[in-house]
Amino acid sequence: MKFGVQVNCYRQTWKGIRTSIETMEAGRWNSLWFADHFVPPPGPREDEPLTAFEGYTLIAVAAGMTKRLKLGHLVLGNTYRNPALLAKMATTLDHASEGRFTLALGAGWFRREHEAYGWDFPTMKERQDRFQEACELIRMLFTADGPVDYNGQYYKLDQAPLSPGCYQKPHIPIMVGGTGERRTLRTLAMHGDIMNLDGWAGQGMSIEVFRHKVNVLKQHCEDVGREPGEIKLTALMPLQITDDKEKAQEFIRRLGSGSMAGPRNYLVDRIGEFIAEGIDEIMFGAIPTGDVEAFQQVEEEIVAVFP
């Protein structure tokens, strides 16, 4: 069983982020992830001047600081970067990290940062249409033997080469962020390699929710002629170990029903349910950035239980 951490990069210092990376590299962790926002989400306007480190730059720096951790984002927003440029950035990082990078992409949702930086924020339908095109285009670039033509409604390529290509074979894994049942999971079935149940997104972190989303994905795979077993299953799970019932309830109230909090044995049992359902990796969130003891507690009390 594999475990990672989404290290918080908002309202933080670089020293704290660096300490988290170094602690993870020295431990049992499999993967390191950052989010991708430009003002701290989804907070009040008075929080906007607080730090928000740019996610792709961070993961590139982390690649140079580490030798074994897998690297990625939860998740990159499609509205921020041209997808062909993103494919080029991905293969560059894939080579520099010697095959440790996962390209994780979502449709984009945070209106305020688009307003702040002067970017268009299309309708939900257009964002989903753009996202589907972007995933298709990127997969074509990752898997093509030569230059790629693409003529979509929003994106176009004219004999675009991708050199270097992917370091990983057959190609860099593509995580499709989100579990919207009508569009997002269908895009995953068509063009992605990894599903992620996002505990920050307000969905309940229950085995019933996870099982339902996987069944929806399986139906989409059947519809598009894809083998469901080709797609890995993951979850981002904000987590707190505590024997204090009121503290656990406050954590879940503050961070949402996608969070897990409680005694160590309770959390181990809950994680075991997901493992029994075939999950490949769990990424923990809400471990205090730069807090070495907090990272080590989760590693020793949770990660070490699942060899």
In sequence order, what are the beta bridge partners of 239?
260
CB 271 within 8 A of CB 207: no
Angle, CA of 60, 62 and 64, to the nearest 5°: 80
pLDDT for the residue numbered 307: 85
Confidence at residue 187, expressed as pLDDT on a 0 to 100 scale: 98
Which two structure tokens, joined as six digits, stand for 282? 């769990």
Measured between its terminal Cα atoms, the distance across the chain in Å is: 6
Alpha carbons 101 and 173: distance in angstroms, whole number = 8
- What is the chain's alpha carbon radius of gyration, rounded to the nearest angstrom? 19
Note the pLDDT tens digit of each residue in 125-174: 999 999 999 999 999 999 999 999 999 999 999 999 999 999 999 999 99
Alpha-helical segments (H) within 26-82: 55-65
Question: Alpha carbon 102 to chain centroid distance?
Answer: 9
- pLDDT of 202 reads 80
Position 275 scores a pLDDT of 97
Give the per-residue pLDDT at 79: 97
Q: Please name the residue that has the structure tokens 């449709």.
A: 107
> Which residues of the chain register pLDDT less than 50?
none
CA distance 40 to 28: 29
At residue 149, the pLDDT reads 98
Element (H, E) at 80: none
User: d(Cα 278, Cα 281) in Å, to the nearest integer?
Assistant: 9
